[in-house]
Structure 1
Amino acid sequence: MAQSLETILENLLVPDNAVIQQATTQLQEAYKDPAIVPALCGVLGSSQNPQVRQYAAVLLRRKIAKQWKKFDQETQASLKATLLQVLVQEPERTVRHAASQIVGAVARHELQEGRWPELLQFIQECIRDNEPSKREMGMFVLSTVCDTSAQGLQPHFASLFALFNTTLEDVDNRAVQFYTIQAMTALVEYCGTDEAGTFQKLIPKVLAVIRHLLQHDEDQACEALEIFDELVECEVTIVVPHLKDIMQFCLEVSSNAELGDNIRVKALSFISWLTRLKKKSILKHKLVEPVLGVVFPIMCTPAEEGEEDPDNTFIDELEASTPSSFASQVIDVMALNLPPEKLITPLMQLVGPALESDNPYQRKAGLISLAVIAEGCSDHIQKKCLEPFLQVTCKNISDPNPVIRNAALFTMGQFSEHLQPGITKYHGEIVPLLVNHLMQGEHSSKEGVTKTYYALEEFVENLGKDILPYLPALMESLLSALTTSQAVHIKELAISAIGAIANAAGEAMVPYFQQVMEQLKPYITQVLPESHQVLQVQALDTLGMFARTIGEQHFLPMAEECIQLGLKLVEEVDDPDLRRCSYGLFASVSTVLKANMTPYLPNITKHMLGSLRSTEGIIIHHSDETNGVLNFVEEDLTEESEEEDDDDVEGYSVENSYLEEKEDTCNSLGEIAENSGSAFLPFLEECFNEIFKLIEYPAATIRKAAVTSVGQMCVALHKHFQQSNTEDSTGALAKLLSMSVPLMCQLVREDTDRTVAMTTLEVLSEMLKEIQTAVVAGEGHLDGIVTAVRDVLQTKTACQDDDDAEDDQQAEYDTMLIEYSGEVIPALAVAIPGQQFAPYFAGFLPLMAARFKRTSTDAERSFAVGTISESIASMKAAVVPFVPHLYPILLQAVKDENDEVRSNGVYGLGVLAEHGGEALYQHYPAILQTLSEVSTIAGQQRRVVDNMCGAVARLIMTNISAVPMESVLPVMVSTCPFRRILRKTPQCTSVWFTCTRQGILRFSNSCPSC
Structure 2
Amino acid sequence: MSEVTLTTLHTHCAASVPLRRCLLCPNLAEALFAHLEVSLLATPWRQGHRIQGRVLEGDWGWGISPVYRHSVSLSLAQLSATVFRKEGLEAWPQLMQLLQHSIHSLHVPEREMGLLLLSVVVTSRPEAFRPHHRELLRLLNETLGDVGSPGLLFYSLRTLTTMAPYLGTDDVPLVRMLVPKLIVAVQILIPVDEAKACEALEALDELLESELPIITSHLSEVLTFCLEVARNVALGDAIRVRILCCLTFLVKVKSKALLKNRLLPPLLHTLFPIMAAEPPLGQLDPEDQDSEEEELDVGLVGETPKHFAVQVVDMLALHLPPEKLCPLLMPMLEEALRSQSPYQRKAGLLVLAVLSDGAGDHIRQRLLSPLLQIVCRSLEDPSQVVRNAALFALGQFSENLQPHIRSYSGEVMPLLLAYLKSVPPGCTRHLAKACYALENFVENLGPEVQHYLTELMECMLQPLRNPSSSRAKELAVSALGAIATAAQASMLPYFPTIVEHLREFLLTGHEDLQPVRIQSLETLGVLARAVGEPMRPLAEECCQLGLGLCDQVDDPDLRRCTYSLFAALSGLMGESLTPHLPRITTLMLLSLRSTEGIMPQYNGSSTFLLFDDERGGEEEEELAEEDEEEEDDSEISGYSVENAFFDEKEDACAALGEISVNASVAFLPYMETVFEEVFTLLECPHLNVRKAAHEALGQFCCALHKACQSCPSEPNTAALQAALARVVPSYVRAVTGERERQVVMAVLSALTAVLRGSGSVALQPPGRLAELCHALKAVLQRKTACQDTDQEEDEDQPLTWPCRLNTTPCCWSMLVRPSLPWPLRPGEMPLPPSLPASCHYCSARRNRAAQWQRSPLRWGRWRSPFRAWVPPRPSLCPGCSPCC
TM range (shorter): 0.7 to 0.9
CA shift, 1:621, in A, is 0.3
* Residue 532 of structure 1: aligned partner: 513
* Residue 711 of structure 1: aligned partner: 698
The 2-side partners of 1:471 and 1:617 are apart by: 41
Kept in 2: contact 1:496–1:538 (CA 8 A): yes
The TM-score, its normalising length taken from structure 1, stands at 0.75
Structure 1 counterpart of 2:91, one-letter code: R
* Residue 816 of structure 1: aligned partner: 804
Of residues 175-184 and 400-409 in structure 1, the stretch that sits farther from structure 2 once superposed is 175-184
Distance 1:495 1:299, change over 3 A: same
The 1-side partners of 2:809 and 2:800 are apart by: 16
Q: Does the residue aligned with 1:792 lie in a helix, a strand or coil?
A: helix
Q: Does 1:47 align with 2:25?
A: yes
CA shift, 1:700, in A, is 1.2
Q: Does 1:89 align with 2:74?
A: no
What whole-Å deviation, never above 9, does each CA across 1:968-995 have from its counterpart, x for those lacking one?
xxxxxxxxxxxxxxxxxxxxxxxxxxxx
Q: Does the residue aligned with 1:651 lie in a helix, a strand or coil?
A: strand
Q: Does the residue aligned with 2:789 lie in a helix, a strand or coil?
A: coil
Q: 5+ residue gaps in structure 2?
A: 290-295, 608-623, 845-884
* Residue 794 of structure 2: aligned partner: 805
The 2-side partners of 1:326 and 1:174 are apart by: 28
Structure 2 counterpart of 1:297, one-letter code: P
CA shift, 1:681, in A, is 2.0
* Residue 850 of structure 2: aligned partner: none
* Residue 838 of structure 1: aligned partner: 824
CA shift, 1:606, in A, is 1.5
Kept in 1: contact 2:681–2:693 (CA 8 A): yes
CA shift, 1:561, in A, is 0.3
Distance 1:296 1:74, change over 3 A: same
What whole-Å deviation, never above 9, does each CA across 1:589-646 have from its counterpart, x for those lacking one?
1111122112211221111111112121111101123687757767xx8xxxxxxxx6
* Residue 592 of structure 2: aligned partner: 612
The 2-side partners of 1:42 and 1:818 are apart by: 57
Kept in 2: contact 1:265–1:321 (CA 8 A): yes
Kept in 1: contact 2:593–2:677 (CA 8 A): yes
The 1-side partners of 2:219 and 2:838 are apart by: 33
The 1-side partners of 2:800 and 2:602 are apart by: 39
Distance 1:632 1:208, change over 3 A: closer
CA shift, 1:126, in A, is 2.6
CA shift, 1:152, in A, is 2.5
Please tell me whether Structure 1 or Structure 2 has the larger radius of gyration of its CA atoms: 1
Q: Does the residue aligned with 2:213 lie in a helix, a strand or coil?
A: helix
Of residues 197-206 and 580-589 in structure 1, the stretch that sits farther from structure 2 once superposed is 197-206
Kept in 2: contact 1:741–1:775 (CA 8 A): yes
What whole-Å deviation, never above 9, does each CA across 1:629-677 have from its counterpart, x for those lacking one?
757767xx8xxxxxxxx65222112110010001111111111111122
CA shift, 1:93, in A, is 5.2
Paired residue for 1:738, among 721, 725, 742?
725
Kept in 2: contact 1:413–1:456 (CA 8 A): yes
Paired residue for 1:324, among 296, 301, 306?
306
CA shift, 1:549, in A, is 0.8
Distance 1:180 1:79, change over 3 A: closer
What whole-Å deviation, never above 9, does each CA across 1:671-692 have from its counterpart, x for those lacking one?
1111122222222222222212
Q: Does 1:345 align with 2:327?
A: yes
* Residue 147 of structure 1: aligned partner: 123
The 1-side partners of 2:143 and 2:9 are apart by: 42
* Residue 434 of structure 1: aligned partner: 416
Kept in 2: contact 1:789–1:821 (CA 8 A): no
Distance 1:212 1:82, change over 3 A: closer
CA shift, 1:290, in A, is 1.6
What whole-Å deviation, never above 9, does each CA across 1:230-287 have from its counterpart, x for those lacking one?
1112355211111121011101111111222122111111110011112211211122
* Residue 832 of structure 2: aligned partner: 848
* Residue 640 of structure 2: aligned partner: 653
Paired residue for 2:231, among 228, 248, 255?
255
What whole-Å deviation, never above 9, does each CA across 1:941-974 have from its counterpart, x for those lacking one?
xxxxxxxxxxxxxxxxxxxxxxxxxxxxxxxxxx
Q: Matched residues, percent identical? A: 38
Q: 5+ residue gaps in structure 1?
A: 9-25, 61-70, 638-645, 853-859, 868-898, 901-1010
The 2-side partners of 1:692 and 1:571 are apart by: 27
The 1-side partners of 2:788 and 2:595 are apart by: 35
* Residue 549 of structure 1: aligned partner: 530
Distance 1:490 1:848, change over 3 A: same
* Residue 578 of structure 1: aligned partner: 558
* Residue 183 of structure 1: aligned partner: 159
Structure 1 counterpart of 2:437, one-letter code: A
* Residue 683 of structure 1: aligned partner: 670
The 2-side partners of 1:566 and 1:671 are apart by: 17
Kept in 1: contact 2:379–2:387 (CA 8 A): yes
The 2-side partners of 1:145 and 1:190 are apart by: 15
Q: Does the residue aligned with 1:844 lie in a helix, a strand or coil?
A: coil
The 2-side partners of 1:100 and 1:411 are apart by: 51
* Residue 594 of structure 1: aligned partner: 574
Distance 1:863 1:469, change over 3 A: closer
Aligned CA-pair RMSD: 3.3
Kept in 1: contact 2:664–2:707 (CA 8 A): yes
Of residues 664-673 and 113-122 in structure 1, the stretch that sits farther from structure 2 once superposed is 113-122
Q: Does the residue aligned with 2:233 lie in a helix, a strand or coil?
A: coil
Distance 1:391 1:49, change over 3 A: farther
Q: Does the residue aligned with 1:653 lie in a helix, a strand or coil?
A: strand
Q: Does the residue aligned with 2:489 lie in a helix, a strand or coil?
A: helix
* Residue 568 of structure 1: aligned partner: 548
CA shift, 1:712, in A, is 1.0
What whole-Å deviation, never above 9, does each CA across 1:804-823 have from its counterpart, x for those lacking one?
427847897x5421445863
* Residue 278 of structure 2: aligned partner: 302
* Residue 456 of structure 1: aligned partner: 438
* Residue 450 of structure 2: aligned partner: 468
What whole-Å deviation, never above 9, does each CA across 1:69-96 have from its counterpart, x for those lacking one?
xx96446533441343244224625433
Kept in 2: contact 1:749–1:797 (CA 8 A): yes
Kept in 2: contact 1:298–1:323 (CA 8 A): yes
Structure 2 counterpart of 1:802, one-letter code: T
The 2-side partners of 1:332 and 1:143 are apart by: 36
* Residue 695 of structure 1: aligned partner: 682
Q: Does 1:77 align with 2:46?
A: yes
1:163-242 mapped onto 2 (5 Å cutoff): 163-242=139-218
Q: Does 1:395 align with 2:377?
A: yes
CA shift, 1:726, in A, is 5.7
Structure 1 counterpart of 2:301, one-letter code: E
Distance 1:94 1:790, change over 3 A: farther
The 2-side partners of 1:483 and 1:473 are apart by: 15
The 2-side partners of 1:75 and 1:806 are apart by: 54
Of residues 513-522 and 451-460 in structure 1, the stretch that sits farther from structure 2 once superposed is 513-522
The size of the alignment, in residue pairs, is 806
Distance 1:49 1:273, change over 3 A: farther
Structure 1 counterpart of 2:459, one-letter code: S
Kept in 2: contact 1:331–1:372 (CA 8 A): yes
Kept in 1: contact 2:449–2:487 (CA 8 A): yes
Of residues 253-262 and 455-464 in structure 1, the stretch that sits farther from structure 2 once superposed is 253-262
* Residue 98 of structure 1: aligned partner: 72
Distance 1:81 1:490, change over 3 A: same
Distance 1:757 1:83, change over 3 A: same
CA shift, 1:770, in A, is 1.6
Of residues 200-209 and 797-806 in structure 1, the stretch that sits farther from structure 2 once superposed is 797-806
Q: Does 1:828 align with 2:828?
A: no
Kept in 2: contact 1:45–1:53 (CA 8 A): no
CA shift, 1:866, in A, is 14
Task: Determine which structure has greater relative contact order: mean sequence separation of CA pairs < 8 Å that are 6+ residues apart, divided by chain length.
Answer: 2
Q: Does 1:765 align with 2:752?
A: yes
Distance 1:138 1:648, change over 3 A: same
Structure 2 counterpart of 1:436, one-letter code: A
CA shift, 1:824, in A, is 5.4
The 1-side partners of 2:30 and 2:116 are apart by: 19
Kept in 2: contact 1:315–1:325 (CA 8 A): no
Distance 1:592 1:674, change over 3 A: same
* Residue 868 of structure 2: aligned partner: none
Distance 1:717 1:171, change over 3 A: closer
Kept in 2: contact 1:485–1:491 (CA 8 A): no
Structure 2 counterpart of 1:495, one-letter code: V
